[in-house]
Amino acid sequence: MRPSMALLRSIILFFLICFASDSIGKEEQEEEFSEELLLRPLPDRKVLAYFHFESRVPPTDTYGRHHHLFPKAIYQLVHKFRVREMEMSFTQGRWNYERWGGYDPISSSNAKPPGVELWAVFDVPQHQIDASWKNLTHTLSGLFCASINFLESSTTYSSPDWGFQPSLGNSRYGTLPREAVCTENLTPWLKLLPCRDKAGLSALMDRPSIYRGFYHSQRLRLTSAEFDSVGMNSGIVLEQTLTVVLQPSTLGTGTMYSSGSSLQPSWSISSLFGRKVSGKCVLAKSSNVYVQLESGLVSELKNLWKENERSEADILAFEGSWANSGFELSVVPDKVIKEASSLGKGGPSFLYEFLIKNYNDSKPFDLGFTWKFPIYWSCLQAPLHASRFLMGSGNERGAIAISLKPSQQSGDFYSVDINEDNCRLRVDVFQVVPWYVKVYYHTLRVFVNEQLQSLADVVERMHVSPSEDKVSPGLMEMVLKLPCGVKSAALTIEFDKGFLHIDEYPPDANQGFDIPSAVVSFPDFQSSMHFLGDNFLNNSPMLSKLQERSPVLSYTEVLLVPLTTPDFSMPYNVITITCTVFALYFGSLLNALRRRVGEEERRLKSKAAKKTGRLHLLLSKLSAKLRGRPWEPPQSPPSSSSSSLVSSKLILKVILVAGIAAGWQYYFG
């Protein structure tokens, strides 16, 4: 049976080779770092710059505990608190969903509420989660020079069930809307990068130009599979992104075109950031810069191309080319990546890739983007535009309203089945409300197309955990099913404004109190880009991230609720009046206890017998007047004279004290 033996041997050999190669592949798994920058012109003359840094470390059991690239602080943090997933963002300014888009993966995952947002998923037993969260907040607060430790208090964080991110157990979510974000937060964030901001793309981060922008969001996301007992063990992935919206300096806007509209400002990397890229970070596996043209812009460019009466072939040629009539890139891109056009998203978008490894100090990379024609386009927007506002007036009660309006392009999304009656649009709403805003969940009302709807018709699923005074915030997660062709929808929910204890007020209590942003997501719509050709994806973590399917997500505004605030000088007044009351009380009490009436009267009698002067006569007259009785000579009833003596003394004393007080007030007050 030699042939069969040979066959068996060859099979075994094959398996052996396979295993060997597999194990070799595993051994070769190294720490990886990659840096990427995506630039995208925005419709309102601004430019979006999106830095994406990713560090990976293989799992500890195969790789060990010593790292070359991966930040030790993060590694330790993951291990100490057994963090499975964590995301933290520092944001300044607001993402303008209408002008900068709300559908693409970048806006969906990088548009964050102002201030700090932190959520984490832990791999610990249920009862340890809170402790882990508290420790984590303190660690992060030390690590990033921010007051994240305020999220420690149980009144500030909540445990989302399913509304915030689907399929997360053991998670905690907290926001600090008032946290100011500045370089002190950026520097520790940069420290986690192997090249810091000394080389590579991060060298572009000139602080003044970054913080001059209209939106600034630095984000850190951790995914670790260290504690997974089964399945793929891919180690820890640290994703750091910085999203900035910058306004290019408008130098070339002087030229006006026949349509009366002016050219979009042209920009270059050096004009945006004030610096150029002088080579990659040597530790980075890949270092790329992309310029993205949105689908709206691409289709406008195509129209322009068509207007110039090019042939069909030219249009096809346009798709692959980088130089065209609408704009000009100063550097030849190394590759043009086209997005596969998908339904409901308009045309495809284009990515121009530039490899930084080809540039160095003597030949710095400075990409210029020059517009040739005025072009107007609009961004892809989420199916509904969510905005939130306060209703009512007064210091007693109010209401929160979330209004959902279809965006302009929303017709495209469900053009196929818009006529069907059972076409429904799913909207998830996740909202955390601090306890001092006492929300009455039974007052939830839903309006669809300006008509009040019964909750059962619209709300498919709802999870509410009411707030507990001074213990936990209120949490509302709900799934709405709105008809597809909805013109407008609004949720209103009423609340009472609570009272805080005097030392629970923040330092600037009179500003009002924040209600953190609500999260509105559309699980029916996945924000992902699908690029044609898969071969390049392995070396670009950012592009693979953009391909990941995730629901379209948008944050609403932070609300400011003016609460009743005490006059903070009042404690002083209260102390003063309390002391006065106490003094009066104890004084009269002592007086009542100490006085022996019989004894006093006897002494007064003897005194009165001794002294009867003119003054006394006068005083007794006055006192008689005071008591409204006809005046009688002092000697007739001794008791009356004694009483008159007491009263006259008292009046004298009162007058004296009042005089002193008045004098004091006048001269020293």
φ/ψ of residue 130, rounded to 5: -60, -40
User: Among residues 218 and 378, whose Cβ is nearest to other proteins?
Assistant: 378
d(CA 101, CA 111): 10
The one-letter code for the residue type at 580 is T
368 binds other proteins (CB under 8 A): no
- Among the residue ranges 268-276, 360-368, 402-410, 613-621, the one whose residues contact other proteins (CB under 8 A): 402-410
462 binds other proteins (CB under 8 A): no
User: Among residues 507 and 613, whose Cβ is nearest to other proteins?
Assistant: 507
Site string for other proteins, 490-529 (x = CB under 8 A): x-x---------------xxxxx-x---------------
Contact 493, 443 (CB under 8 A): yes
371 binds other proteins (CB under 8 A): no
Contact 640, 627 (CB under 8 A): no
44 binds other proteins (CB under 8 A): yes
Question: Binding other proteins by CB under 8 A: which of 58, 102, 163, 177?
Answer: 177
Q: What is the three-class DSSP state of 176?
A: strand
3-state secondary structure 105-142: HHHHHHCCCCEEEEEEEECCCHHHHHHHHHHHHHHHHH
Task: State in angstroms the smallest separation of the CB of 58 from other proteins.
Answer: 40
Site string for other proteins, 131-170 (x = CB under 8 A): ----------------------------------------
d(CA 438, CA 472): 12
Question: Binding other proteins by CB under 8 A: which of 92, 224, 527, 641?
Answer: 92
Q: Label residue 225 exposed, middle or buried (CB < 10 Å: 0-12, 13-18, 19+).
A: middle
557 binds other proteins (CB under 8 A): yes
d(CA 261, CA 328): 19
560 binds other proteins (CB under 8 A): yes
Binding to other proteins (CB under 8 A): which residues in 221-260? 259
Q: Which two tokens stand for residue 426?
A: 């799913």
The one-letter code for the residue type at 29 is Q
Site string for other proteins, 425-454 (x = CB under 8 A): ----------------------x-xx----
Task: State in angstroms the smallest separation of the CB of 621 from other proteins.
Answer: 13
The DSSP bridge partners found for residue 401 are 389, 492
Contact 226, 79 (CB under 8 A): yes
d(CA 56, CA 377): 38
Task: State in angstroms the smallest separation of the CB of 104 from other proteins.
Answer: 15
φ/ψ of residue 28, rounded to 5: -75, -10
391 binds other proteins (CB under 8 A): yes
Which residue reads 């099979």 in tokens?
A: 11
Task: State in angstroms the smallest separation of the CB of 486 from other proteins.
Answer: 12
626 binds other proteins (CB under 8 A): yes
Site string for other proteins, 105-124 (x = CB under 8 A): ---------xx---------
589 binds other proteins (CB under 8 A): no
405 binds other proteins (CB under 8 A): yes
d(CA 160, CA 168): 8
User: Among residues 466 and 512, whose Cβ is nearest to other proteins?
Assistant: 512
Q: In what order do the strands lie in the sheet with 551-555?
A: 459-465, 474-483, 424-433, 519-526, 551-555
Rg of the chain taking only CA atoms, in angstroms? 37
Task: State in angstroms the smallest separation of the CB of 557 from other proteins.
Answer: 5
Task: State in angstroms the smallest separation of the CB of 554 from other proteins.
Answer: 14
Q: Angle 223-227-233 (CA atoms, 0-180°, nearest 5)?
A: 70
377 binds other proteins (CB under 8 A): yes
User: Among residues 243 and 288, whose Cβ is nearest to other proteins?
Assistant: 243
Exposure b/e, 331-341, CB count within 10 A at least 16 = b: bebeeebebee
User: Among residues 275 and 445, whose Cβ is nearest to other proteins?
Assistant: 445
Of 379, 330, 371, whose CA–CA distance to 352 is shortest?
330
Task: State in angstroms the smallest separation of the CB of 628 from other proteins.
Answer: 5
| Binding interface with other proteins (CB under 8 A) | 43-45, 92-94, 96, 98-99, 114-115, 177, 212, 214, 216, 259, 261, 376-379, 387, 389-395, 401, 403, 405, 408, 447, 449-450, 487-488, 490, 492, 508-512, 514, 557-562, 565, 625-628, 639, 643, 647, 650
